[in-house]
Amino acid sequence: MRTKNLKRIRNVAMFFVVAAVWVFYFFPIYWMVSSSFKTRVDTFAIPPKWIFWPTIQFYISSFTNPKFLKVIQNSLIITGTTVVFSLVLGAWAAYAFARFRFKGSLTLSFSLIVARMMPPIVFIVPLYLLFNSLKLRNTHVGLILIFTVFNLPFTVWMLKSFFEEVPIELEEAAWIDGASRLQALGRVILPLIAPGLAATAVFAALLAWNEFLFALLLGGPDTTTLPVFLSGFLGERDVEWGDIMATATVAVLPPTLLVMLVQQNLIKGLTLGAVKG
Amino acid sequence: MTSGEQHASFEQGRITEGPQGQIRTAGGEQRNRVFGLPLHILLIAPTFLIVFGLLVYPLGYAIVLSFSNKILTGSVPFKWVGLENYLDLVEAKSEMWTSVGVTLRFAIVGVLLEFIIGLSLALLLNREFRGRTWLRVGLLVPLMVPPLASGLIWRIMYDDSFGIFPHLVRTVGANPPIFLGDPDWALYAVVATEVWRSSPFMVLVLLAALQAQPVETIEAAEVDGASGWQVFRLITLPFITPVIIVALLFRTVDALRTFDLIFLLTAGGPGTTTEVISMFIYRWGFRHFKLGFTSAASILLMIATLIICIFYLRMLVVRQAEVQLTQE
């Protein structure tokens, strides 16, 4: 009888702990989404309103705003191209590091980790001057290049860990059948690590989609991405929170959906392949 | 193809380490060359070309600039100033030290809280209970939110007129501080946002480590009469220590690079009470346009980051050596 009670108390305690954790992590998201459906009056209501009549006026005004559509287009083009470049270049380098031992291979691969650890702000002044003199500021190409560079350390290390999991014998079998190294890579290895490639792509996309510092300082009016657009709201005289929260919700949606798809390789992605999930 | 030939070509592609660590591919030169060039060089060339062009070269440029008085716009003639920028930065009354203090408080309080929350939740999620899967999924959400958007969300919640936090404080009868505008509160309000955003990383990474632990060792210890705490301290903790070090390394360097969140929440204010080092560099570079001075600060930040990395990596190496010793 007593043990039964004890168990019940433990269950109830557990319930409250789990509920508290949920509230802590989920409430801000809920608040963002609900604020995007509140009218101006409801947003500024004191005390804050829990129950309100939802409005989609801010989504309508966002999606009919040509500026906003251009921003989405910029974000999609820049993120998409960055992902392709980082994956292709990253896969080549990762394959070389995984399958060849050559002079300096360790130094080179570890120098990429050092690059990953550096705060991006360290590079901002020289890059700003460099981009100015090369006329790369305020161009899609410029942002794609810089996002790719900051993605590469991560894609190389993550893909390297996936390549290393493929037994070399599979490749050797393809060589026996007359395939060259690159043919074997393309037709045998890459299909095998497809889930890994997908996970790497998602993380590369996340980095490019969310990047702010370079997009702000090396970009310009022609390349405004979603984060830069979002930050611009606050400079306005009359801050329209409904607009901001609707835009933020739109910005959060694609990464959330993508990451749900690659949950299996999530931990690897978070730690450059250092920790397996 | 006869089996003999098969065997030969099987040997061809295999890479063996040569005497000086060079590749020796018994007769397989053909396979490892494209257009007469070694394949591995061709494969890594594009990556390192753009890494060189856009990271290494700018870094060298920053070092050169740091010895000059370069400003972005204005009429001050360019000249070399030697170590002047560095001396200005490290002198006792320099604003950099305020910023270093803020950065350290931000990083240490933040990473420590993230670690405590991360380890507790990882241990919780490592047990069986109803709703466990859902809790794991819920944890993913803050990780997906762009730092910038999370700044906006928390800003609306902190807002001193219509925000939910001041309201909650009022409901319990207290007088709420102006969270983001009070010098005593602003930094911790920012830390809370950062903990919300980043502690899931700790939870998920530590949980992965816990789940990799072989069940047999724990069961064996329990059979030997070890208490739950003893199992944790003597078996689980040593097992996950390397992962803890890696996670702390990642979180620490990320805390050092924090920019978006602070840019959005407080822009470094009130005064300079939340001006972390990235904001400090941003302000001198892009508000005062003193590029030489800013470059010097960047170089110092780079050196500090390197030292922190080396510190953690040494911990990892020492730890590995200890494990090897105990195994022998």
pLDDT of residue A182: 84
Q: Which CATH number fits the domain that encloses residue B317?
A: 1.10.3720.10
**B245 in any annotated domain:** yes
Query: For residue A147, what are the domain limits?
Result: 66-270
Residue A241: list chain B partners with CB under 8 A.
Answer: 156
**Higher pLDDT pick, B115 / A191:** B115
Q: Mark whether A89 and A215 lie in a shared domain.
A: yes
Q: Mark whether A260 and A127 lie in a shared domain.
A: yes
pLDDT band at B4 (very low <50, low <70, confident <90, very high): very low
Top mean-pLDDT range of A172-176, B22-26, B131-135, B251-255:
B251-255
Cβ atoms B201, B251 nearer than 8 A: yes
Q: Mark whether A91 and A218 lie in a shared domain.
A: yes
For residue A63, the distance in angstroms to the closest alpha carbon of chain B comes to 18
**A53 in any annotated domain:** no
**Pairing of β B16-17 and β B23-24:** antiparallel
Q: Mark whether B18 and B165 lie in a shared domain.
A: no
**B176 in any annotated domain:** yes
Q: Express as a percent the part of chain B with pLDDT over 70.
A: 90
From the centroid of its chain, how far is CA B33? 38
Residue B210's identity, in one-letter code, is: L
A47-66 b/e (C-beta count within 10 Å ≥ 16 → b)? ebbeebeeeeebbeebeeee
Residue A6 confidence (pLDDT) above 50: yes
Query: For residue B20, what are the domain limits?
Result: 3-65
Q: Mark whether B30 and B102 lie in a shared domain.
A: no
**B78 in any annotated domain:** no
Cβ atoms B155, A245 nearer than 8 A: no
pLDDT of residue A229: 93
If one counts every other C-beta atom within 10 angstroms of the C-beta of residue A179, the result is 17
From the centroid of its chain, how far is CA B3? 53
Judged by a CB distance cut-off of 8 A, whether residue A266 touches chain B is: yes
Q: Mark whether A77 and A24 lie in a shared domain.
A: no
Q: Among A135-139, B273-277, B323-327, which is the least confidently predicted range?
A: B323-327
CA–CA dist A87, A162 (Å, integer): 13
Q: Mark whether A132 and A90 lie in a shared domain.
A: yes
CA–CA dist B132, B198 (Å, integer): 20
Q: Express as a percent the part of chain A with pLDDT over 90.
A: 40
pLDDT of residue B252: 92
**Joined tokens for residue B140:** 């993913």
Q: Mark whether B107 and B211 lie in a shared domain.
A: yes
pLDDT of residue B35: 75
**A58 in any annotated domain:** no
Residue window 132-161, chain A: list those with CB within 8 Å of chain B: 145-146, 148-149, 152, 156
Q: Mark whether A135 and A208 lie in a shared domain.
A: yes
**A10 in any annotated domain:** yes
CA–CA dist A182, B34 (Å, integer): 10
Residue A46 confidence (pLDDT) above 50: yes
Residue window 67-86, chain A: list those with CB within 8 Å of chain B: none
CA–CA dist B19, B21 (Å, integer): 6
Cβ atoms B300, B89 nearer than 8 A: yes
Closest CA to A223 of A105, A136, A125: A136
pLDDT band at A2 (very low <50, low <70, confident <90, very high): low
Q: Mark whether B162 and B24 lie in a shared domain.
A: no
The arithmetic mean of pLDDT across residues B63-91, rounded, is 85
**B196 in any annotated domain:** yes
Cβ atoms A274, B248 nearer than 8 A: no
**Contacts for B177 with CB less than 8 Å, ≥ 6 apart:** B184, B185
pLDDT band at B28 (very low <50, low <70, confident <90, very high): low
Domains identified in chain B, total number: 2
Q: Mark whether B125 and B165 lie in a shared domain.
A: yes
Q: Mark whether A90 and A167 lie in a shared domain.
A: yes
Q: pLDDT tens digit string along A181-227?
A: 888 888 888 988 888 898 899 889 989 999 999 999 999 899 999 99
Residue A275 confidence (pLDDT) above 50: yes
Q: Express as a percent the part of chain B with pLDDT over 90.
A: 34
Half-sphere exposure of B324 (CA within 13 A, CB side): 6
Residue window 232-261, chain A: list those with CB within 8 Å of chain B: 234, 241, 244-245, 248, 251-252, 255-256, 259-260
Q: Mark whether A88 and A25 lie in a shared domain.
A: no
**B172 in any annotated domain:** yes
Q: Express as a percent the part of chain A with pLDDT over 70.
A: 95
Rg for chain A (alpha carbons), in Å?
24
Residue A130's identity, in one-letter code, is: L
**B110 in any annotated domain:** yes
If one counts every other C-beta atom within 10 angstroms of the C-beta of residue A244, the result is 26
**A275 in any annotated domain:** no
Q: Mark whether B242 and B93 lie in a shared domain.
A: yes
For residue A125, the distance in angstroms to the closest alpha carbon of chain B comes to 7
Q: Mark whether B93 and B162 lie in a shared domain.
A: yes
For residue A151, the distance in angstroms to the closest alpha carbon of chain B comes to 10
Q: Mark whether A127 and A258 lie in a shared domain.
A: yes
B58-97 b/e (C-beta count within 10 Å ≥ 16 → b)? bbebbeebbbbbbbeeeeeeeeebeebbbebbeeeeeebe
Q: Mark whether B19 and B107 lie in a shared domain.
A: no
**B77 in any annotated domain:** no
Cβ atoms A126, B61 nearer than 8 A: yes
- Judge: A212–B148 Cβ closer than 8 Å, yes or no: yes
Q: Mark whether B8 and B151 lie in a shared domain.
A: no
pLDDT of residue A135: 93
Q: Among A45-49, A75-79, A137-141, A148-152, which is the least confidently predicted range?
A: A45-49
Q: Would you list the DSSP string of B284-323? A: HHHTS--HHHHHHHHHHHHHHHHHHHHHHHHHHHHHHHHH
Domains identified in chain A, total number: 2
Q: Would you list the DSSP string of A100-118? A: ---TTHHHHHHHHHHHHHS
pLDDT band at A127 (very low <50, low <70, confident <90, very high): very high
pLDDT band at A110 (very low <50, low <70, confident <90, very high): confident
Residue B248: list chain A partners with CB under 8 A.
Answer: none
- Judge: A90–B47 Cβ closer than 8 Å, yes or no: yes
Q: How many CB pairs lie under 8 A apart between chains A and B?
A: 277
If one counts every other C-beta atom within 10 angstroms of the C-beta of residue A195, the result is 12
* ipTM of the complex as predicted: 0.86
Q: Mark whether A196 and A249 lie in a shared domain.
A: yes
CA–CA dist A5, A8 (Å, integer): 5
The pTM score is 0.87
Q: Mark whether B179 and B323 lie in a shared domain.
A: yes
CA–CA dist B311, B233 (Å, integer): 24
pLDDT of residue A272: 67
Residue B171 confidence (pLDDT) above 60: yes
Chain B residue closest in CA terms to A265: B208
**Joined tokens for residue A156:** 């190389």
Judged by a CB distance cut-off of 8 A, whether residue A186 touches chain B is: no
Q: Mark whether B319 and B216 lie in a shared domain.
A: yes
Residue A212: list chain B partners with CB under 8 A.
Answer: 146-148, 259-260, 263
Q: Mark whether B208 and B61 lie in a shared domain.
A: no
pLDDT band at A277 (very low <50, low <70, confident <90, very high): low
Helix (H), strand (E) at residue B191: helix B186-212
Q: Mark whether A126 and A171 lie in a shared domain.
A: yes
For residue B198, the distance in angstroms to the closest alpha carbon of chain A comes to 11
Judged by a CB distance cut-off of 8 A, whether residue A117 touches chain B is: yes
Q: Which CATH number fits the domain that encloses residue A189?
A: 1.10.3720.10
What's the whole-number average pLDDT of chain A?
87
Residue B20 confidence (pLDDT) above 50: no
**B75 in any annotated domain:** no
pLDDT band at A147 (very low <50, low <70, confident <90, very high): very high
Chain A residue closest in CA terms to B17: A101
**A50 in any annotated domain:** no
Nearest to B138 among A22, A92, A130 (CB): A22
